[in-house]
Structure 1
Amino acid sequence: MTLPKNLWVLGDGQLGAMLSHAGQPLGINVRPVDIMTPSDAQLPLEADDIITAEREQWPESQLSLQLSQHPHFINGPVFGRLADRFSQKSLLDELAVATSPWQLVDDNTNTEVLHQAYGERVLLKRRTGGYDGKGQHWLKHAEATTIPADWRNEAIAEQAINFDEEVSLVGVRTQDGRCLFYPLTLNLHQDGILMASIAPLSRLAPLQAEAEDMLSKVMHGLEYVGVMAMECFRVGEHLMVNELAPRVHNSGHWTQAGCHINQFELHLRALCNLPLHQPQVNFQCVMVNLIGVDKDDRWLSLPNAELFWYNKDVRVGRKVGHLNLSVHNKAMLDDSISHLKVWMPQQYQAPLDWILAEFA
């Protein structure tokens, strides 16, 4: 099987870096590209090179056009379709995949009518660009909140969902249309940012088939190739899709420690049409996102921890790394979490307690 000379990544953030790392043992030359800094440079693209992306949106530039217009830009039309919440939600409706009731906010949208349709609290989301809690605005009937003037035609309105918890599914679709999946992941968000994930969990197993059916419909409907993530709300015994990500995903980072093929390698295998089979889970795993905290070498003293540090400038609310904790046994996990509670700032106390409670 002939590998491409290069596999280029639109974007050179942490996901691109981890794709590059995963490509090394496979002999795949993964080359992330900084598309955020203006440049007149031309990339030395070969005809059989493969292009992927670590993000759904990017600014138009000479570099991004060169990459996105390459004939082997896998899933090219998908990125823009899923980057826009209007077309993403429309797709879910077309495929009859459960999602929260919604509508486009246009020039004629009336706040009172939205409350009549969706209740006391209605969530507005910018059609593009919002992530990690950004680009959202609550309409609260009790506070007479109004639609921001510049959000009309640029946002959707969603019914607020009284969900039990948040889960995600990371799966892959091969070039010949097979779909494979990791176990469902339990997630905790704080201020819209993912703080921690746990997988697998036996109590989520009854939801696995429903989740796989939902994500299969999406990937088949888009003729997608590679890894895709689906974030869901669990409402009772069923799931409802919150968002889709056509790429490797933060909630799949646990697979770097927990599985014999992690999500980054799985994505590369699918793109390059390499042999691909069901990933095996080696350990139950806990992933702790490192948000706006300085690097602490004491983390390395934990016997079940693997540190991934992104070498970014530390800023409030910025993802600068993650820790994967393999759950070899409860005592080891409890001891590691107790140390982290001492070493980490106040905003981590509730997420760390959440982890302990799940293993109580």
Structure 2
Amino acid sequence: MATAKIWVLGDGQLGAMMRHAGMPLALDVRPVDIMSPSEEKLPLAADDIITAEREQWPESCLSRQLSEHPNFINGPVFGRLADRYTQKSLLDDLAVATAPWELVEDQTEEAELHNAYGERVLLKRRTGGYDGKGQHWLKQAENTSIPADWRNQAIAEQAINFDEEVSLVGARSADGRCHFYPLALNLHQDGILMASISPLTRLSPLQAKAEAMLSRIMDALNYVGVMAMECFRVGDTLLVNELAPRVHNSGHWTQAGCHISQFELHLRALAKLPIPELKPALPIAMVNLIGVDHDSNWLSIPGAELYWYNKEVRPGRKVGHLNLDASDNAEVIDALLALQTWMPEQYQAPLSWIMNELQD
């Protein structure tokens, strides 16, 4: 039977994993290289569906054609959430907790920001910036200044002394029903996600609160598909740090940890296919591969599932990830011990962190 195509604005690893997830469902998912200078039009049909693997994209013939299609699902949402000013404004309007913040304007003074938010204030560019980029610390003790070209282009946030970082990945169907995976515990290093673990029993008391927050956001946006919500945990309080209107790195564990991965979940929501209750398996450890060369020894580790993005390896660049799957925590720990022997120094502490969490 002929079905509508699902075009993905962007052809990076997220688009590739969506395409792969669509195959068992006979969904024709087509990631598009929007960086291509081609002026040739895509053969879009009226009932085709458009989604995106990124919040922002460069202006091109292909990006215009895709983003202007009537079936560009969540079209108005991407720009709203890609701008940290409008994203934070939305959270405030919805009374969803986030770090205290304000727009950095022409008249904003460093002293005023320190009086309002403390000795350390984090500036974030309104758009762009990821994996720790696009950030600038104002430190009162060092007399740090607001960069001249950041005025009206950045927000200022109070530094949060959080206990840990967690994220919730969920989806909303076209009929308004919401579906959620368990919270994931995340570890960042230099602003880049290094590892995620889910599910963890100790995070269960926060699940309902997190689901209520993300439901409120998705409902307000009339959102359809997968969205990720990254949070700081401060005691029993969750503060939203970032929202991502797409499949997300911290949800990669679902490829091994649930019968429906986040990529398939997103496609089911877009295509209006049934979505049963999500049933995660035992805890999965996801390890990002960042700036490291491919090593076939990883494939010798029991329970290791490798996703290699086939990108040029550069420092700080995500080039793949490993999901470590086993029947119990002890087997995952054994896999981590084996992985430590094949990974460089910067991975020793994150791998030990995962083991400590699984032993608690």
In the alignment, which residue of structure 2 is the partner of 1:177?
176
CA contact (8 A) 1:3 1:28 kept: no
Determine the structure 1 residue equivalent to 2:292.
Answer: 293
Q: Which amino acid aligns with 1:205?
A: S
Structure 2 residue identity aligned to 1:99: T
- Distance change >3 Å, CA 153–CA 4, structure 1 → 2: farther
1:95-120 deviations in whole A, cap 9, x for unaligned?
00000000000101100000000000
Q: Residue 53 of structure 1: CA displacement? A: 0.1
Matches within 5 A, 1:322-333: 322-333=321-332
Specify the alignment match of 2:275 in structure 1.
Answer: 276
Q: 1:252-301, CA deviations, whole angstroms, 9 ceiling, x for partnerless residues?
A: 00000000000000000000001112211123200000000011111111
Aligned to 2:66: 67
Give the Å deviation of 1:37. Answer: 2.9
For the structure 1 residues 98 and 221, does the alpha-carbon distance in structure 2 shift closer, same or farther, using more than 3 Å as the test?
A: same
CA distance in structure 2 between the partners assigned to 1:65 and 1:196 by the alignment: 35
1:140 corresponding residue in structure 2: 139
CA distance in 2, matches of 1:214, 1:5: 33
1:59 counterpart letter in structure 2: P
Number of aligned positions between the proteins: 359
2:180 aligned with 1:188, yes or no? no
* Equivalent AA in structure 1 for residue 105 of structure 2: D
Q: Does 1:197 align with 2:196?
A: yes
Matches within 5 A, 1:333-344: 333-344=332-343
**Residue identity in the other structure for 1:291:** I
CA–CA distance in structure 1, aligned partners of residues 81 and 110 of structure 2 = 26
Could you tell me which runs of 5 or more consecutive residues in structure 1 were left unpaired when the two chains were aligned.
none
Q: What is the Cα deviation at residue 6 of structure 1? A: 1.0
TM-aligned CA deviation for residue 88 of structure 1: 0.1
Question: Displacement of 1:3 after TM fit?
Answer: 6.7
| CA distance, structure 2, for counterparts of residue 58 and residue 3 of structure 1 | 30
Match of 2:26 in 1: 27
Cα deviation digits, residues 282-334 of structure 1 (max 9, x gap): 23200000000011111111111100000000000000000000132233222
- The letter of the residue matching 2:14 is L
Distance 2:329 2:94 in 1: 41
Structure 1 window deviating more from structure 2 (193-202 vs 3-12): it is 3-12
When structure 1 is superposed on structure 2, of 282-291 and 128-137 the one drifting more is: 282-291
Shift of residue 339, structure 1, vs aligned partner: 1.5
Question: Is the contact made by 1:259 and 1:283 (CA closer than 8 Å) also made in structure 2?
Answer: no
Hey, what's the Cα distance between the residues in 1 that align with 2:290 and 2:327? 25
Query: Within 1, Cα distance between the matches of 2:135 and 2:44?
Result: 38
In structure 2, list runs of 5 or more residues that go unmatched: none
Query: Which residue of structure 2 aligns with residue 101 of structure 1?
Result: 100
Structure-1 residue corresponding to 2:244: 245
Letter aligned with residue 120 of structure 1: E
Partner of 1:43: 42
**Equivalent in the alignment of 1:14:** 13
2:218 maps to 1:230: no
**Could you tell me which residue of structure 2 aligns to residue 150 of structure 1?**
149
Q: Share of identical aligned residues, percent?
A: 73
CA deviation digits over 1:149-184, x for unaligned, max 9?
000010000000000000000000000000010000
Report the equivalent of 1:311: 310
Aligned residue type for 2:138: L
- The code of the aligned residue for 2:234 comes to V
Equivalent in the alignment of 1:121: 120
Contact in 1 for aligned 2:283/2:329 (Cα 8 Å): no
2:251 is matched by which residue type in structure 1?
G
The reply to whether residue 255 of structure 1 matches residue 229 of structure 2 is no
Q: Which residue of 1 aligns with 2:344?
A: 345
Indicate the SS of the match to 1:25: helix
Partner of 2:217 in structure 1?
A: 218
Q: How far apart, in 2, do the equivalents of 1:275 and 1:137 lie?
A: 44
TM-score w.r.t. the length of structure 2 is 0.98
Letter in 2 for 1:185: A
Q: Does residue 53 in structure 1 map to residue 52 in structure 2?
A: yes
One-letter amino acid of the structure 2 residue matched with residue 67 of structure 1: L
1:343 match: secondary structure: coil
Q: What's the secondary structure of 2:157's corresponding residue?
A: strand
Moved runs in structure 1, 4+ residues, more than 4 A?
A: none
Query: 2:263 — aligned with what?
Result: 264
